[in-house]
Amino acid sequence: MSQKTHKATRAIIMAAGIGKRLQPLTFKTPKPLIKVHGVSMINTAIEALHKNGIAEIHIVVGHLKEQFNALMTEYEGIDLIENPYYDTCNNISSLYVAREYLGDCIILDGDQVITNSEILDPCFERSGYNAVWTDVPTKEWLLTVEDGIVRSCSTNGGSGGWQLYSISRWSKEDGIKLQKHIEIEFEVKKNRQIYWDNVALLCYPQEYTLGIKEMKREDVTEIDGLDELIAYDESYKDMLEGA
């Protein structure tokens, strides 16, 4: 069994987006603060991080940013980082403004429901992403993994591969590289309409030796649209029909 040689000591949560696919709910509430079965999505992430001993949590905010202030009184160790580019750039801008905290960190989106805190285990052997094996076709990003190492990434999906989820870990060494590469893409190349995940997986894949953290599909729920929200929490059906 491979020895886990790295440990995440901090987390970066991406929570700046407008959440267009959950409108009209996100007109007044940031997507990560929408409650699912009575608990805000971002709270499931924060509490799972705390269970894994990660108390230093940097949350990147933008849309309706003032609503996140309450988290700083609800939890210790919360730091809010404003992303002034959130409404004009893709999420590379969110990691750009939080880049000084890369290294020995775990990065995740604030708009997913964490149902199994073990998937945020801070210990890891290689930098890389949580992933679920899928035999059925998916439109999500799909990783090809050989001998525990990510060999390629398809952004067009496919089947018979590892579906990437928005939970990743980065060693100190890889965090330094990732910071440099994000600065090059954002500042020099003005490449601001890409996902930050493109940087290591597609822009500079030769610079990283990434692995995966295996998990089960039911360990986390990504809610992208209203249909998925209603399927997961039926209380929204009546609310939205009456809107």
Q: Is residue 164 part of a domain?
A: yes
Q: Is residue 105 part of a domain?
A: yes
User: What is the domain extent for residue 157?
Assistant: 6-241
Under the banding of pLDDT at 50, 70 and 90, the label for residue 240 is: confident
For the domain that residue 153 is a member of, what is the CATH number?
A: 3.90.550.10
Q: Is residue 69 part of a domain?
A: yes
* Alpha carbons 67 and 44: distance in angstroms, whole number: 17
pLDDT of 243 higher than 60: no
Total tally of structural domains belonging to the chain: 1
| Mean pLDDT, all residues of the chain | 95
Strands 6-7 and 10-15 come out as unpaired
Q: Which of 94, 33, 98 is nearest to 67 (CA)?
A: 33
pLDDT of 19 higher than 70: yes
pLDDT at residue 3 in the model: 63
* Alpha carbons 239 and 243: distance in angstroms, whole number: 6
Chain segment 42-77, per-residue pLDDT in tens: 999 999 999 999 999 999 999 999 999 999 999 999
pLDDT at residue 219 in the model: 98
Chain segment 67-115, per-residue pLDDT in tens: 999 999 999 999 999 999 999 999 999 999 999 999 999 999 999 999 9
